Structure 1
Amino acid sequence: MLKALIAVFIAATLTENYILTKFLGICPFLGVSKKLNTAIGMSLAVIFVMLLATVVTYPVYMLVLLPNELDYLQTILFILVIAALVQLVEIILKKYIPSLYKSLGVYLPLITTNCAVLGVTILVIDKSGADYGFAHAVVNALGAGFGYLVAMVLFSGIRERLEDSDIPDFFKGMPITLISASFVALSFLGFQGIVDKLI
């Protein structure tokens, strides 16, 4: 069981990275990754919300929606849960950790519209289902969150280096950003062999 959960975590983090393989959360990936501080802050907030959303939505889906054949309400319900969780996180941070609240600033409300959070929550439940259970779903969501962090931090470092590089004018801006993102995505394919051996 533990070996399977470790394999799920590594797979979700490296080989099935939701940003680089499914393009979920690509807008913040390209927009927020200009500076390392903002990339880390956004990623940590996304990890927290992803994990909480999966912890809340998995039992609701399995115990309420699925038995009552209301699974068509999954997306609407999950969006409402994610929005409520983001508001809850915002209230708690504002009251108990105001410095972190100020540093995250506008990025906290943006998590509600981050398609990676909704996508991971839905895909984790679809993958886990009744066959694997709650632990599998939570570990998968945690791995997806850490994969988000790894991709954001790596890409942020690359973008900071590109700012100091001499790049031809026709590559400046979005062209070099997209080329760099494609190389980061390709580099993650090298991890496929590791996960295949674990499974």
Structure 2
Amino acid sequence: MAARLAAIFFTMILVDNYVLVKFLGICPFLGVSKKLNSAFGMSCAVIFVMTLATAVTWPIQNFLLTPVDAEGNLKWDLGYLQTIVFILVIAVLVQLVEIIMKKYMPPLHKALGVYLPLITTNCAVLGVTVLNIDNGYNFVESIFCALGAGFGFMLAMVIFSGVRKRLEEAQPPKCFEGLPITLVAASATALSFGGFGGLIENIFGAI
């Protein structure tokens, strides 16, 4: 069990990174990665929202939307409400994070600006809650998956923050200045994660 949880956790960080492999959450990835402090603060907020959203949405899905009896038969099916319910839960959690940051960390709150409330529509947060259900993970596995996805988001943000700092010192061709060279650098960063493909399976075995 411990090996499976470790495999899920590290797979979400290195192999199935939501930003660099699944290409979810690109908006904050490009918008908040200019400064390390902002990238780190945003990542901490995303980890908190991802984990708490998973802890709330998993029981909602399994006990309210699509509950099963002791024999495994579906009692009723409200699965079509999944997206709406999950987005509402995430929106409430983001508001909670924003209130806490505004009160206790006003500089970080100001630095994140509009990107903090945009966590509500961050497809990476919604994606991890939905994919946990689709993958058939139990509650503990879902929490580890959400934590891994959150730390994977942080790893991508921190690495790309360093890359963008180097880009500021570079002198690319004029046609590549600005967004084009940023996208090229993001692509190269994503390609670098391709080398982790067989690492988790070799260490922990197939999950």
TM-score with structure 2 length normalisation? Answer: 0.89
- Number of residue equivalences: 196
- Answer 1 or 2: which has greater helix percent: 1
Moved more, 77-86 or 172-181: 172-181
Give the corresponding residue for 1:107: 115
Q: Distance in 1 between matches of 2:113 and 2:133?
A: 30
**Long gaps (5+) in structure 1:** none
SS in 2 for 1:22: coil
Q: Distance in 2 between matches of 1:108 and 1:192?
A: 31
Write the letter of the residue equivalent to 2:163: I
Contact 2:28 2:115 in 1 (8 A): no
Give the corresponding residue for 1:23: 23
Q: CA deviation at 1:92?
A: 3.3
Q: CA deviation at 1:91?
A: 2.6
Go from structure 1 to structure 2 and tell me whether the alpha carbon gap of 1:106 and 1:175 turns closer, same or farther (over 3 Å shift). closer
Give the corresponding residue for 1:190: 195
Give the corresponding residue for 1:123: 131
SS in 1 for 2:197: helix
Give the corresponding residue for 2:53: 53
Contact 2:38 2:108 in 1 (8 A): no
Go from structure 1 to structure 2 and tell me whether the alpha carbon gap of 1:34 and 1:95 turns closer, same or farther (over 3 Å shift). closer
Provide, for residues 50-100 of structure 1, a one-character-per-residue CA deviation record: whole Å limited to 9, x for no partner. Answer: 111000000000111012200110000000000011112223344455565
Q: CA deviation at 1:45?
A: 0.6
Q: CA deviation at 1:176?
A: 1.1
Q: Distance in 1 between matches of 2:33 and 2:2?
A: 34
1:89 to 94, 97, 108: 97
Provide, for residues 147-189 of structure 1, a one-character-per-residue CA deviation record: whole Å limited to 9, x for no partner. Answer: 0000011111101100001211111112211111111111111
Percent identical:
64
Q: Distance in 2 between matches of 1:30 and 1:65?
A: 35
Matched, 1:160 2:160: no
Q: CA deviation at 1:28?
A: 1.3
**Long gaps (5+) in structure 2:** 68-75
SS in 1 for 2:116: helix
Provide, for residues 11-45 of structure 1, a one-character-per-residue CA deviation record: whole Å limited to 9, x for no partner. Answer: 00010001112111111111211111111111111
Write the letter of the residue equivalent to 1:43: S
Give the corresponding residue for 2:176: 171
Go from structure 1 to structure 2 and tell me whether the alpha carbon gap of 1:88 and 1:158 turns closer, same or farther (over 3 Å shift). same
SS in 2 for 1:34: coil
SS in 2 for 1:20: coil
Write the letter of the residue equivalent to 2:5: L
Write the letter of the residue equivalent to 1:113: T
Write the letter of the residue equivalent to 2:3: K
Kindly report structure 1 stretches of 4+ aligned residues shifted beyond 6 Å. none
Write the letter of the residue equivalent to 1:119: G
Q: Distance in 2 between matches of 1:38 and 1:16?
A: 24
Q: Distance in 2 between matches of 1:96 and 1:32?
A: 20
